[in-house]
Structure 1
Amino acid sequence: MAYILFKLTCQPLTCDHCIEYIKLFKKQQKRAMAEAHSAVAFSFSITHEGWDINYDQEVLNLVWQSGLRSWKKRIARARNGIRNGVFPAHIQSLWLITAIAIGLHFTGHNVPFNLVNKVILYVPNHSTNWQIGSCFIAGLIVWLSICFSMRYTLKLLLMYKGWMYESRAPGSKISFTTKAWSVAVKILSSWNTPGLYSFQGSLPRLPVPSVHNTMTRYLRSVRPLLNDEDYIRMEKLAMEFKSTIGKKLQRYLELKSWWSTNYVSDWWEEYVYLRGRSPLMVNSNFYATDAIFQHLTNNQAARAGMIVHLLLAFRRMIERQELQPIMVQNMIPLCSWQYERAFNTVRVPGLETDKIIHYKDSNHIVVLHKGCYYKVVIYFKGRLLRPCEIQIQIEEILKSKQTPLPGEQQLAALTAWKRSNWAEIRNQYFCRGVNRVSLQLIESAAFVLSLDEEPYEFNMDQPELLDKFGRILLHGNGCNRWFDKSFTVCIGTNGRVGFNAEHTWADAPVMGHTWESVFIDEIGKYDENGNCRGTPEFSPPLPSRLNWDLTLILPKIQEAVIDATNLLNDVDLKIFVHDSYGKGFMKKSKLSPDAYIQMALQLAYYRDAKKFSLTYEASMTRLFKEGRTETVRPCTIESSAWVKAMDDPNFKASDRVTLLKKACDQHQLGYQDAMCGQGIDRHLFCLYVVSKYLEVDSPFLNEVLSEPWRLSTSQTPHGQTPKMDLKKHPNCISAGGGFGPVADDGYGVSYIIAGENLIFFHISAKKSSGVTSATRLAKNINKALADVRQMFEEHEKATQPN
C-alpha cells in the first residue's frame, strides 16, 4: 500500500527520496515473508543455490499427533460399531462357533442346515484351507443368526411396559408375567457388558397413541380448568376433530412412526427449539449450581483446571463408549442418543431456523475472562493435559494484563439477542477474516469456560446469596456466556462453579449425569493448599488470544447489550431451600415424593393465583429409541378436588388424606402413561405439524396448541448412577438448577430432592408481569408443604386408639 501511495504522489518516481522508501518497503516485505514462513510447519522453494526446505519440527509433530489421535478414534468407533451391532451377543463368541463348525466338519458331522457343504460348492477346490474358510463362513452365518435373534428378542421384551404400572412398594404383589419378563431381560442384558450405545439397536420405537385415547385423556385433563359451558364447547371440538380430519392426520403420523426412528424427536427439535426466534438467554437455556455443601478449594485456577480435566475425561468415556448406559432398576436401559452431542457442539443462528453443528473432535476449549477470549489447547504430546497442567494455563489467563479489543467485552451479547438479528450479523461480518477464524474456534471448542470476576456465595442464613448465584448462572451480565454453545462452565473467584446449557441438543438429565460424575470424581484431588494434585511433566501450551475486528458492528453489539440487559433485569428468581422435611417423610406417608411435591405446587399456585392453570411437568420417554420428553399434566380433577378441600373447613383431615392419595395415584398414572409413550401433548403437537404440512386448518388443534403453560415444572434428577452415593459422600449435594418462565404471566419451577430432609426450589417469573412474584410463590410453597405435613399429623393423631 505504501508503495502504491508513493507511486501516485511522487514525481518523478526515481527521486532518491522515493527510492529509499521503496527499499524500506521491500525490506519490510521480506521480513513479513520470513515471519510468514516461520509461522507455517513446512515450506519449499527453489533458489539459485538449489532446493530450500524449511520446516518446524514441533508443529509437524503436533500435526502428526493430531492425525494419529483422529485415526485412533476412527478405529475405536469402527470397533464399537461392530460390538454394538451384534449386542447382546459377544464378538468373541464368533471364534467359538467357528471352532465348533470346524470340529463338526472334520469329524464327519454336519453343521446345522448342512451349511459347510453348501458353501464348499462355491469354492475353487476342496483343499484343507478352503474347507476351513468354508467352515468360517458357515460359522459366521450361524453366529449372525444367533446375534440378531438375541437382539430382536431383547427388543420384543423391552416393548413390554406392564412392569411400569405394577407397584414396587414393599409387600406388593408382582404378576407372573412381569417376573418371567424380568428374568428374561436380565439374562439377555447381562450376557455381555454393554457400551454406551449398545442397547440402541434393541430399544423399541415410540408408539403413536390412538386419537381416541388422546382425546379422552385431553378432555379429562382440562376439565378442572374450564367451566361447564367452555368444557362442552371443547368437547364438541374434540369429537369433531376425532371423527373428521383427525383420522387422516393420524394415518400420516403412523406412516412417519414406521419410517423414522422416533416420530416426535426431529420435529420437536426443529419446531420447538431451532425455529424459535426468541433469545436463548432466559427463554431457553437452563443452569445448574455447584455441590453446594462441598467446597474443596477456593483457588479459581485450580478448580477450573480440575473441572476442565474431568469434563474432558467424561467426554473421552463417551467417545470410547466406556460410559455405562443408565439402567432403570439395573435392568431396563434408557436411550443414550443425547450424549453424542454433549461436547464440541454449537447452535448456529439462521434467519428462519437455526441448526445444530456437532464437531467430531476438538483439541481445545475457549476461555472468557475480563472480556477477552483465549484458545486453550487441552491435548499436548499425545495425551490429555493433567489438572495441574491445565491449572498453569488458567493462571496465565488470570494474571494476564491484556485488555479487550473494541466491542470484544460485549460480543457474547449477540448470542443473547434475537436469533434472526444474530444470524444477520453473523452472515455479514463473521464469514471472513479474523472474525471468521475466531468464531470458528469458539464454535468448534469442546465447551466454553467463563472465569468470572465475582464470587459465587452460599449461606443458609442469607438466602439472597443463593438467588444471586442462580442469576449469575442463568444469564450472567448478558455478555459473559456464549449461549450458543452446548454448555458454558462458569467459575467464580472463590472456586464455586456452575454451568449454563443450551437446550436443543439434549435435556437436563444428560447434563445432570455429567455434572454429578464430575462432583464425585474431584473428591480428594486437591492438596492442602487448594491446588490440583500432581506434578506437571512439561510446560503446557500457553493460551492464545482470539483476534477480532468489530469496528463495523459496534452499534449492533450495543443494541444487543441493551436488549439483553432489559431481558435479564426482568427476571425474578428465587431459590427456596426447604429443610423442614424431605422425601423421608413423604415415603413414610406412602406417597411418591414427586407426586407429593406436585400436589403441594398445585396448592401453592392456587393460593397464589386464586385459580387453576394448565401445568407442565417434564417426563422422559427415553425407554424408547431417541426419546426425549413428554408432558405430565399435574392439574387433574383429583388434584383440584384435594386443593379445594385443603382450604375448606368442612373437610376433616382423613377426608383430605383420602383425596390427596387419589390425586397422587392419578398423577402417577399420568406419569406412567407419559413414560410409556401414551402421553397427550407430543401426540397433539405432531398432529398439528402434519396439519400444517397438509395446509389443513383445525380449530381444535389451533386452540390446544395456543394454551399457555402458566406453571411449568421440572424435577432435577439426582443420583442417576451408583457413583452418587450420598451415604458415602453426604456433602456431595447439588442445589440443582432452573430455567426461565415459559409464559409472561407464569412461573418456572424446578426442584431437586436432595437427600432425606432437603428440597431446593428454583422459582422464576417476570417482574413485568404484575401478577406473579417468585418470592410470594416460594412462601406459598413453604406453607403448602407445612399444611400437608400438618394434615398427615392430624390424621395420624385422629386414627390412633385412645
Structure 2
Amino acid sequence: MAEAHQAVAFQFTITPEGIDLQLSYQALNQIYLSGVRSWKKRVSRLRNRVIKGVYPASPSSWLFVVIAILATMYMRSDPSMGLITKIQQHLPLSLSAEGQTMLSVLVFSTLLWLSLILALRFCLKLLLSYHQWMFEQHGRVSNTTKVWTLLRLLSSRKPLLYSYQTSLPILPVPAIKETLSRYLESVRPLLTDPGYKRMTELANQFESNLGNRLQRYLKLKALWATNYVSDWWEEYIYLRSRGPIMVNSNYYGMDFLYVTPTALQAARAGNTITALLLYRRKVNREELKPSRVPGTVIPLCAAQCERMFNTTRTPGVETDVLQHWQDSEFVAVYHKGRFFRLWVYTAGRLLSPREIEHQIQRILDDPSPPQPGEEKLGALTAGDRVPWSQMRKQYFSSGINKRSLDSIERAAFFVTLDDEEQGMRGEDPAGNLDRYAKSILHGKCYDRWFDKSFSIVIYKNGKSGLNAEHSWADAPTVAHLWEVDAFQLGYSEDGHCKGEVDRSLPLPQRLVWDIPSEVQTLVCSSLAVAQALADDVDCHVFPFRDFGKGRIKKLKISPDAFIQISLQLAYYRDRGGFCLTYEASMTRLFREGRTETVRSCSNESCAFVKALEDGEEAEQCRHLFRLASERHQNLYRMAMTGAGIDRHLFCLYVVSKYLGVDSPFLKEVLSEPWRLSTSQTPVQQMELFDLKNYPDFISLGGGFGPVADDGYGVSYIIVGEDMINFHVSSKYSCSQTVSKASYDLLCYPDWLVTRQPDRFSKHKARLRHRSFVHSFIHSFIHSFIHS
C-alpha cells in the first residue's frame, strides 16, 4: 500500500507554459504518518539501548549520584578524595569557578555511576554463573546458595526483554576426560561386553592422541566467541542440510483442543494476525518479560527472539542463509493456489482486527484462478534444497518473480487460508486429530511456505495451527509466541472480530508470477519428493486425561522423569530392547544458548525396566524407579548447566573436519541413530489461561517428525495438573514402528480393515501389543500410581 501511495503522491505533466505539478496531500499525509511510525521505532530502540546498557541500574540513578555528590560537596566534604580537584585542573579556564566545580562534579559523578554499573553487572554475572542450586535437595540449602539468593535484589527492577543478555555467563567447554567418561556410561546399557570394551578403547585412544589437540582449538573459540556451539550447530545441523526441511526439520503447533472461538475463517485470521503483530510490537519495544527458569528469578537467554518475525531461510547450493529484515508492514497470504500481499498498516497505524478480517474476506471471495505454475509453487520449499537454490537464482533474481518472491520472504510471516476443516470432531475424533497434526506438519506439501520463520494456518472451520522452521530458534521460543492470547481481542455475538472497518482500504495485492516450463517441471519434481515424505509419516496425537503432574508430584517424582522412564519401558515392550534416546534440554542459562541432549536411556532406567518385566517385587521396582528418576533429573541438570555430552563431541568433530584429520571414535559417535527422539513442550505463560475456571482452554502442544527411519518422535506437553498431551510420529515404511495402528486394531478392527487394509495385514501379527503410547500409559503408569 505504501508503494501505491508513493506512486500517486505527486504527478506532473509538461505543458507549453512549463511543468504542471500536482500533489496528492492525502497520499503525502499517509507517507508522513508511515515515516513517523518508523522514527518512533528508531527512538524506541535508542531508548532501550540506553536502559539495557545501564541495567541493573536505571538512567535516573545517574541523577541520584550527581545530587548525592553535590550534597556532600556543599557540606564541605570531598567524597572523591581529591579526584574532583584534579579533574577541575584540566577544564578550560574560560569557565567560572562555580562552572568548573559543577562540571568537574558532573564528570566525576558520571564516572562513579559507570563504575557502579560495571560492578553491579559483574556481581550479576557471578550470581548467574552459579548453578549449584539446581543440584541441592529441597530443604537442604547450602550457605553459598543462601548468599546466591541476593540475585533477587539485583533483579528487582523491571527488566526489558534483552536486559540480561550481557550479564549471562558464557557456555563453558567441559573437560574432555569428563565428557568421554559420561559418554561411555551412557552407552553401557546399549552395548554388549565386547562392544563396550571396543568403544572404551576407541575413547581412550582418542583422548590420548587427537582429543586434547581438538580441545585446545575449542577452548580458543570459547574465549573468542559468544557461544562455542550455537553458530556451528545452526550451520551444520540445520542450514547445511540439503534434504527437505518439511517433516525432517520443521515442526508444528496445534490449536486448543476443545475451544474454537469462532467458526468464521476470516474472523479467526483477523484476530490471530492482530495478536501476532501486537506480540511483534512487544518484541520490538522489548516489553516482553524475559523468560525465566520456572519458579525462579533466573533469566534465560532471549537472543532467539530477534529473528522471530520478518525472517526467511533462503536456499543455497552448499548451505542456506537466514535473512532477517528490521521491519515489515505486510504479511503474505495463500489461498486456493493464489498468493497475496496483505498490508497490515495504514497511515502508520496497525489495522484493527475487524479491518484485517475484512481484508481476509476479500481474499476468500476473490474468484480469480491461479496463474500458470502458481498453485503449487510452494512445493519448491518442501523439496530438496539444491534444485530450489538453482531455480531461485536463475528465475527469481530479477523482474516480477523477484518482486513477488520478496513479498513472501520479507513478510512478517506467512498465512495459509486452508480450504479444509480440521480438529477433534465428528464420528472419529481420534482419527481426525491425527489428520489435523499431519495437515499442520506438511499440508498438501505446496500450500505452506516452509522457508518462513513460521507460517500460520487458518482452517475453513476456524481452527488454526502453526508450522515453524527450526534453524532460527528452538521450540520453546515458538511455543511462547504461539501462546499469545488472541481471545482477549474478543469476538462479537455473530462471530466477527470487534472494531470498525475502513471500507476505503485498497484490495489485497495479488502477486504476479511468470513461471516458465522449466520451473513448473521442478515444482512437480519437488512435490513428488515432498509427497512421498509426507505420505510416509504416521502421526498419532493422544490427550491423556486420567491424571497429570498433580498426582505424579504427590509421589515426589519429577513429571518429566516419570514420562521419560515410562517411554523407556514402552520402547522395551515395543521392540524388545533399549535404544539411544534423545531428550532435548535447553542451555539458555548461557548467552546464545540453544539445546543440549539428555541421554534418557541410563543404567538406572534400564535396571528398573528389566526388574519390572522380570516380575520383581513391587517394593524393589519402586526403589529402582526412584533411583532412575533421580538419575534422570541429575542428567537434565547437567545438560542445562553446560556439562552435557553431545554438543561438546559435535564441536570436537567439527574442529577435526576443519583440521582435515579423521577420528574413528567421533565418526562412530556422531553416526549413532536416535531411534527414540523426545521433547517436552513447555507451557510458559499459564497466567494467560485459567485452567481451573476455564478447563476447556487446553493446549494440544505440538510435535515433529521421526528423526530415524526406524524410530519414534515423541513430543509431550504437561497441561495443568490433570492432563498430558502426547504427539507420536513414525514412518509407515518401517514395519517395526507403529504410532497408533496396533491399538486401533484392538479397538476398531472393522474400521481399519475397511479403510486401511494394507496396514491391517502388515500389523496383524502384532495384535497382542498396544500402541507405543498406550503400552506405558495403560500398564506401567496406572500400576505405579495405584500402588
- TM normalised by structure 2 equals 0.93
* 1:17-54 alpha-carbon deviations (Å, 9 max, x no partner): xxxxxxxxxxxxxxxxxx99994534556543112324
CA distance in 2, matches of 1:348, 1:204: 32
Q: Secondary structure at the match of 1:572?
A: strand
Are the counterparts in 1 of residues 571 and 578 from structure 2 also a CA contact under 8 Å?
A: yes
Residue 52 of structure 1 corresponds to: 20
CA distance in 2, matches of 1:129, 1:300: 68
* 1:430-464 alpha-carbon deviations (Å, 9 max, x no partner): 00111000000100000011000011121496200
* Equivalent of 2:167 in 202, 209, 214: 202
CA distance in 2, matches of 1:561, 1:358: 27
CA distance in 1, matches of 2:26, 2:515: 33
Matched, 1:237 2:168: no
* Equivalent of 2:717 in 745, 752, 771: 752
Q: How does 1:455-494 map to 2 (within 5 A)?
A: 455-459=421-425, 462-494=429-461
Are the counterparts in 2 of residues 516 and 724 from structure 1 also a CA contact under 8 Å?
A: no
Are the counterparts in 1 of residues 248 and 705 from structure 2 also a CA contact under 8 Å?
A: yes
CA distance in 1, matches of 2:423, 2:5: 50
Are the counterparts in 2 of residues 200 and 336 from structure 1 also a CA contact under 8 Å?
A: yes
* Equivalent of 1:81 in 37, 49, 70: 49
Amino acid at match of 2:417: L
Matched, 1:278 2:278: no
Matched, 1:779 2:744: no
CA distance in 1, matches of 2:572, 2:725: 20
Residue 482 of structure 2 corresponds to: 515
CA distance in 1, matches of 2:188, 2:297: 38
Q: Secondary structure at the match of 2:652?
A: helix
Q: Secondary structure at the match of 2:166?
A: coil
CA distance in 2, matches of 1:110, 1:647: 79
Q: Secondary structure at the match of 1:276?
A: coil
Are the counterparts in 2 of residues 517 and 724 from structure 1 also a CA contact under 8 Å?
A: no
Residue 90 of structure 2 corresponds to: 122
Structure 1 residues 792, 721: CA separation in 2 closer, same or farther (over 3 Å shift)?
closer
* 1:537-585 alpha-carbon deviations (Å, 9 max, x no partner): 5643421100000023211111112112111111111112222222122
Are the counterparts in 2 of residues 377 and 541 from structure 1 also a CA contact under 8 Å?
A: no
Amino acid at match of 1:309: T
Between 1:565-574 and 1:441-450, the stretch displaced more is: 565-574
* Equivalent of 2:112 in 125, 142, 151: 142
Structure 1 residues 213, 542: CA separation in 2 closer, same or farther (over 3 Å shift)?
same
CA distance in 1, matches of 2:662, 2:43: 51
CA distance in 2, matches of 1:189, 1:356: 33
Are the counterparts in 1 of residues 31 and 347 from structure 2 also a CA contact under 8 Å?
A: no
Post-superposition shift, 1:724?
4.0
Matched, 1:653 2:618: yes
Gaps of 5+ in 2: 744-769
Structure 1 residues 208, 38: CA separation in 2 closer, same or farther (over 3 Å shift)?
closer
CA distance in 1, matches of 2:82, 2:685: 49
Gaps of 5+ in 1: 1-34, 797-802
CA distance in 2, matches of 1:582, 1:721: 16
Residue 764 of structure 2 corresponds to: none
Q: Secondary structure at the match of 1:619?
A: strand
Between 1:61-70 and 1:323-332, the stretch displaced more is: 61-70
Are the counterparts in 2 of residues 389 and 539 from structure 1 also a CA contact under 8 Å?
A: no
CA distance in 1, matches of 2:33, 2:659: 53
Residue 583 of structure 1 corresponds to: 549
Compute the RMSD of aligned alpha carbons: 1.9
Structure 1 residues 36, 366: CA separation in 2 closer, same or farther (over 3 Å shift)?
closer
Are the counterparts in 2 of residues 326 and 721 from structure 1 also a CA contact under 8 Å?
A: no
Q: How does 1:789-800 map to 2 (within 5 A)?
A: 789-792=781-784, 796=787
Q: How does 1:674-753 map to 2 (within 5 A)?
A: 674-720=639-685, 722-753=687-718
Amino acid at match of 2:465: G
Matched, 1:65 2:19: no
Residue 503 of structure 1 corresponds to: 470
Residue 72 of structure 2 corresponds to: 104
CA distance in 1, matches of 2:555, 2:74: 69
Structure 1 residues 793, 379: CA separation in 2 closer, same or farther (over 3 Å shift)?
closer
Residue 173 of structure 1 corresponds to: 140
CA distance in 2, matches of 1:554, 1:483: 18
Post-superposition shift, 1:69?
1.9
CA distance in 2, matches of 1:427, 1:754: 46
* Equivalent of 2:579 in 613, 616, 639: 613
CA distance in 1, matches of 2:215, 2:777: 42
Amino acid at match of 1:484: D
Post-superposition shift, 1:730?
2.4
Structure 1 residues 793, 106: CA separation in 2 closer, same or farther (over 3 Å shift)?
closer
Q: How does 1:155-554 map to 2 (within 5 A)?
A: 155-168=125-138, 172-182=139-149, 184-190=150-156, 192-328=157-293, 329-459=295-425, 462-518=429-485, 521-523=486-488, 525-536=490-501, 539-552=504-517, 553-554=519-520
Amino acid at match of 1:61: N
Post-superposition shift, 1:253?
0.7
Number of residue pairs matched?
Answer: 753
Post-superposition shift, 1:671?
0.2
Amino acid at match of 1:118: K
Post-superposition shift, 1:664?
0.9
Post-superposition shift, 1:793?
5.3
CA distance in 1, matches of 2:348, 2:504: 14
Are the counterparts in 1 of residues 566 and 781 from structure 2 also a CA contact under 8 Å?
A: no
Are the counterparts in 2 of residues 380 and 541 from structure 1 also a CA contact under 8 Å?
A: no
Post-superposition shift, 1:134?
2.2
CA distance in 2, matches of 1:592, 1:37: 59
Q: Secondary structure at the match of 2:780?
A: helix
CA distance in 2, matches of 1:37, 1:585: 61
CA distance in 2, matches of 1:232, 1:384: 65
CA distance in 2, matches of 1:37, 1:253: 54
CA distance in 2, matches of 1:40, 1:535: 27
CA distance in 1, matches of 2:15, 2:532: 63
* Equivalent of 1:153 in 123, 137, 140: 123
Larger Rg over CA atoms? 1
Post-superposition shift, 1:178?
1.2
Q: Secondary structure at the match of 2:465?
A: strand
CA distance in 1, matches of 2:584, 2:488: 32
Residue 754 of structure 2 corresponds to: none
Post-superposition shift, 1:656?
0.9
Matched, 1:131 2:101: yes
Are the counterparts in 1 of residues 678 and 713 from structure 2 also a CA contact under 8 Å?
A: yes
